[in-house]
Amino acid sequence: MALVAVVVALATAAAALVLVLADVATTATESSNEGQQLAAAPSESPARNLAPTLGKSLATVSPLYRTGRLTDVNCTPGELPAGSISAYRRFLTRVTTCLNKAWGAQFRKAGLPFTKPRLRIITGKIKTPCGAWNVGADGVYCSVDRTMYLMISREQLRNPFPLGITRLVAHEYGHHVQQASGIWHYYWAARAVAGKARRLQLSRQSELQAECFSSVFMSTAKGTPLVTDEDWAYTVDWFRKNGAKGWPQNDHGKGPTQAAWMERGFDRGTPGACNTWASAARNVT
Ligand SMILES: [Zn+2]
């Protein structure tokens, strides 16, 4: 057990070095919303000689997977009019409150301690405690300060797509869920001792799970003005076609793979549908 604790502690330290980005369909047009990932690998980690499999159950059999449907918190963040950053701030604060309620209830059901992430809306690139902002990124979750950074571009201001930005914040929140539940402890421990191909696979498992968690949340608002059938179908289709374009390495999954996890999370509505860590390799391509 002491060895497990050491692995977990080292993995947590490694995770703190890294930021995770997400590309998104945050506008109603198909342009200008591809992100790139600055995934600085953890520097030489003393975990290298320890077996990461010791912590694998943190990811593969998380108690979160047995909590049933994500709680419907009747999320109604209201309108998102064009041209107003304060409207974005209000809207995203409300969405984050919904996410806190929904996931907070799920952590209670799982018997896991829960902490809320912080939200920062920015209009230009900034340096986070996890490092420099990467060109093209729309969102970042930084585990050092447990903060979701969302950058609102001029195009997003001009042409808001409420479902798109909600899906993005729910994705970054998904990384917070991974961090708070211990799933990321396994991820970073395994990454620290993996070769390149395995590292990419682990990255895909992490990203596809965050995306699936996002879709689980989106499903709770299914049929409301925020998540109409038409807008959801458009978004999944956008990712099927474009989801991999912003990532030169296959660290987020192919477009159809991303779309498949979105549909799975949305249709089932349960965190247990998002167990990418126990899924066959062909499902995380
Ligand atoms: Zn991500």
Instruction: Identify any residues that bridge with 121 across adjacent strands, giving them in sequence order.
Output: 150
CA angle 213, 218, 220 (to 5 degrees): 105
Alpha carbon of 96 to ligand 1 centroid (Å): 16
Residue ranges in the chain assigned as alpha helix (H): 2-15, 57-60, 85-110, 154-158, 162-181, 183-192, 196-220, 229-242, 255-268
Report the C-alpha gap between 253 and 1 in whole angstroms: 34
Q: What is the pLDDT of residues 179-226, one digit of tens each?
A: 999 999 999 999 999 999 999 999 999 999 999 999 999 999 999 999
Sheet holding 19-22, edge to edge: 19-22, 139-142, 147-151, 118-122
Spacing, Cα 206 to ligand 1 middle (Å): 7
CA–centroid distance, 223 to ligand 1, in Å, is 26
CA of 2 to the centre of ligand 1 (A): 31
Rounded CA-CA distance 116/284 in Å is 28
| pLDDT tens digits for range 248-285 | 889 999 999 999 999 999 999 999 999 999 999 999 99
Model confidence pLDDT, tens digit, residues 165-182: 999 999 999 999 999 999
203 alpha carbon to ligand 1 midpoint, in Å?
Answer: 9
Rounded to two decimals, the pTM is 0.83
Distance from Cα 211 to the centre of ligand 1, integer Å: 7
The set of residues, in sequence order, having a beta carbon less than 8 Å from that of 56 and lying 6+ positions away, is 186, 190, 277
Residue 204 CA to ligand 1 center (angstroms) comes to 9
The rounded Å distance from CA 7 to ligand 1 centre is 23
**Element (DSSP H or E) covering residue 122:** strand 118-122
